[in-house]
Amino acid sequence: MVSETYRGHGMIKLIKPYISFDEVETEFREIFENGCFTRGKHVAAFAEQIKAYTGAHHAFLTTSATTALWMCMRLLGIGNGDEVIVSDFSFPATANIVEDVGARPVFADVSMDTFNMLPEELERKITSKTKAVIFVDALGNPSGIHTIKKICRDRGIPLIEDAACAIGSSENSIRCGNLADLTCFSFHPRKLLTTGEGGAITTNNDDWAKRLAIKLAHGAVTQNGKFDFVDYGYNFRLSELQAVMGIKQLKKLDAIVQDRSRIRDAYKLELEAMGFRSQQVSKNVMHNVQSLVFRVPEGLDRDRLITDLKNQDIESTLGTYCLSGLNYYKQKYSDIRQNSRSLQEQTITLPCFHNVNTMQVCKAIRKTFKIKSAK
């Protein structure tokens, strides 16, 4: 399932790519022979397949989740004087794109269990300036999006789902991509499906889709085989080579998700017995286990654990970031959210891929904290 040629330089890495060169060789050769590197059949097919897989009415490929999210800001005309409420436990891109268009990112605290936006925080932060809400599927987990969606719908506020980590996840059997008004995915190499760099936007809104198609084509519509530039626009396109990679992985995505659930359960059994707490997932949610994140027991030093694991050739990292506590945002807005800050300090991401030796990782953790095995 994972690349057989991937070496990882002797280190147990956080993730291994779920694609090998053998799988793409035929199509890559064909592309090099026919010279069609962009805007060809593979890009068209990959966009169609993202649409079919998520169940969304429209899908657009982009160069990253960052450009996808930024495009949503432009699409909704968000700018100076506007506010966008964002989940506070996320990768900086979630807030950066709001800041970049001149609006204010308003940080909503998250649940210590699911790591996702708290509905009561959202309600508290809505003002007349709120132009959108960005709900982050923290580490791929969409738990709670339903409640957030209802609040947004009742108030007439567009809901953008930052599903950078969530391809393959679902709530109530509805896949991410078909839950919010606009959804943005990432295909970065840390994700389950990678095109090197890349991303996508999905929506069920026909008007937005029409405008996105134009914006993402330099502002052009094609009429009688000719371009007519009816708007200004951008180039955030994926290449044909990247689309081939995406197509190959999308086919096996559900199997990848199943496999990662098995790995999560193996880790949980060992680590929960040591007092570690796993990210909670609602009953009706399928979590793709994009990142396997645990809260380190109180009194144990998370940073020491990361260093100790590194010394044993095991890669790990923090869960993700408290956006309101990042230097730039802390200095500008001084509104640090406490749960999110605790999660940044207490969480650790552990290696998760097809044949990872979970026992070896757990043994290394036990060694760091001198915890005896229960068995």
Q: Applying CB under 6 A, which residues contact ligand PLP?
A: 64-66, 90-91, 93-94, 136, 162, 164-165, 186, 188, 199
Q: Tokens 């593979």 — which residue?
A: 42
CA 28 from chain center: how many Å?
A: 27
Q: Tokens 């940044």 — which residue?
A: 344
- β-partners of residue 222 are 227
The two tokens of residue 263 are 């790995």
The two tokens of residue 132 are 């959108």
Collapsing DSSP states into helix, strand and coil, what is residue 230? coil
Q: Positive or negative CA dihedral for 74, 80, 86, 92?
A: positive
Q: How far apart are CA 249 and CA 71, in angstroms?
A: 25
Using CB atoms within 10 Å of the CB of residue 292, give its burial: 0 to 12 exposed, 13 to 18 middle, 19+ buried: buried
Q: How far apart are CA 187 and CA 202, in angstroms?
A: 14
Closest by Cα among 197, 175, 93, 103 to 136: 93
Q: Are 267 and 362 in contact (CB under 8 A)?
A: yes
Closest by Cα among 212, 178, 197, 177 to 74: 212
CA distances from 277 to 124, 297, 300 (A): 28, 7, 13
